[in-house]
Amino acid sequence: MSIDPHQADPAAWLAEQRRHAPSMLKRLLLTALADAPLAILQAALLAWLAANLLAGQGRLWTPALLLLLTLAVRALAGAARARFSSGAAADISLAVRERVAAALLRGAGGTMTPGEASTALLEQAEAVGRYHAGFAVQRRVASLATVLFLVAAFAVDWVVGLIFLCTAPLIPVFMMLVGTGAQRAADRQLESLRFLGGYFLDRLRGVLTLRAFAREQAERDGVDIANGEYRRRTMKVLRIAFLTSAVLELFAALSVALVALYVGLHLLDLVAFGPGPKLDFGTGLWLLLLAPEFYQPLRQLAAGYHDRAAAQSAAQVLAPLLADPADPDTDPGPAAPTANRPNALTLEGVGFGHGDGEPLFENLDTSVAAGQCLVLRGDSGTGKSTLLKVIAGLLPANGGRVLHDGQPAPQLARADGRLAWAGQHPWFVHGTVADNLRLVAPDADDADLERVLEDCGLGALPAGLATPLDENGGGLSGGQGRRLALARALLSPAPLLLLDEPTAELDEDLEARIVATLAARKGHRTLVIATHSPALAALGDHSIWLGGVSHD
């Protein structure tokens, strides 16, 4: 994946995502904060009721009714909290998912594999929502609730307050200790999921080829291995999560036992410190009931700790992806076309090489006026398609620059209809020929569509405009598919057309027709054509030879 993880600060980006559900998160926080005072009240009412029962006093209705009321309010607050929590998680995940989808459509994902893209859209967007509705809220709730419980405990018995104060930090300290390991395990799990997603998708796409070569069993074994690795890494994350909660349960249980021991000894007058005679049965029971409630928010915080690790791993990928300047939140939109349009296309010292290898081409200079035709020629593999991609902004030039109308070239996906592309392996939507043509000209009538099909030698399709096809062009021959892509580019209103071998593998008559069609478009559109065909190359006002050797 070509995303630079240093483009954006993942931690700041992650924190910022709470803006997608501000009111839901506020309501969630309020209902979550209500739990601690209600727990203190519930424990007090229960202790009051028990003390009155034990003392045989008649005032049972008041504490019993108040207790029922508190239990009901607490249950309602819990239900509301669950509702707001799932609502906030869904809102945030949806907003992040929409932005990820838009970024991927703009081409911001660079060379992300399909598996990486689908993981970003599904699991990683989900992890961000889960973190904000879970751990991030619980962190604030736990700190405020802890202070409230401590104040209540210290106000009644400083020894119990001290036990709470000394044992509470054990939980966050332990969480920090396991934190690095948990983060590493979450990263590795996510990496494995991304790999598995891509691997599985690739095999599904190529299932017919695999079957033809009798490779099903070998590939099934491959999927099993990838799946086993994902399972192993998931189990590691779960092991850390379960182990963490088990240790935290132990801390909490020991601390509750300590409070119980102190209260018991005190009630038996076996300890000589603490508030002394003031600690009666009711107060002792209240403190005892308070103890598990005191550790509850911290335990919930710890339980959500692996959600935090998952969200941080997700942010490492999503933050740079969404830091693309064309993000709807940050992009002011494409620059308005300039009134002065001296050149439709200029290459200034353009060079490109894949990775660290030898440059495919360098120092290319040319200036193509609006309405002219630039032809790219050269032997197979010399870089014609690559140069088209650089001109389209699908690949970044390693040197020099490409100017469209005097402006730095936009990426194809962000060109806002200023350029159209017909590649060697065109993509179609699942539908009819008409559906695919109307992608670029929604208002075109059938006569317009039939005319452009005729121009591209597709006048005799079996079902005409209603001919069905799938996304790989299935339903048409390879040559027909490429000509349909050409027809789509011609139908689009884009002033600059980038065409990759539009006459490849055509017989002479069809080639002549395409050449005539493009000749008729010259003057109205600027054409850049990669081709091996001398007839098509003859249209060029300018040509670039790649590979250095001209065979003309």
* Contacting residues toward ligand ATP, per CB under 6 A: 354, 360, 378, 380-386, 530
415 touches 393 (CB < 8 A): yes
CB of 354 vs ligand ATP, minimal distance in Å: 3
Cβ distance to ligand ATP smaller for residue 109 or 378? 378
256: its two tokens: 């509750």
Cβ distance to ligand ATP smaller for residue 379 or 454? 379
Classify strands 431-432 and 468-469 as parallel, antiparallel or unpaired. antiparallel
CB of 360 vs ligand ATP, minimal distance in Å: 6
CB of 425 vs ligand ATP, minimal distance in Å: 11
CB of 504 vs ligand ATP, minimal distance in Å: 8
Cβ distance to ligand ATP smaller for residue 38 or 530? 530
Closest CA to 420 of 548, 528, 290: 528
350 sits in the region (left: phi over 0; alpha: psi -120 to 50; else beta) called beta
Cβ distance to ligand ATP smaller for residue 189 or 382? 382
Q: Which amino acid is at 472?
A: N
Residues 185 and 174: their CA atoms lie apart, in Å, by 17
In the β-sheet with 419-422, what is the strand arrangement from edge to edge?
A: 419-422, 496-500, 526-530, 373-377, 542-545
Residues 491 and 191: their CA atoms lie apart, in Å, by 42
Cβ distance to ligand ATP smaller for residue 198 or 378? 378
Residues 374 and 530: their CA atoms lie apart, in Å, by 9
88 touches 132 (CB < 8 A): yes
CB of 551 vs ligand ATP, minimal distance in Å: 13
CB of 353 vs ligand ATP, minimal distance in Å: 9
Longest pairwise C-alpha distance within the chain: 113
Classify strands 407-408 and 399-404 as parallel, antiparallel or unpaired. antiparallel
Cβ distance to ligand ATP smaller for residue 175 or 530? 530
Q: Is 374 helix (H, G, I), strand (E, B) or coil?
A: strand
Cβ distance to ligand ATP smaller for residue 376 or 515? 376
Cβ distance to ligand ATP smaller for residue 340 or 380? 380
CB of 383 vs ligand ATP, minimal distance in Å: 4
CB of 547 vs ligand ATP, minimal distance in Å: 8
481 touches 423 (CB < 8 A): no
In the block, which residue shows the tokens 């998680």? 89
To the nearest 10 degrees (0 to 180), the angle between helices 281-303 and 170-205 is 30
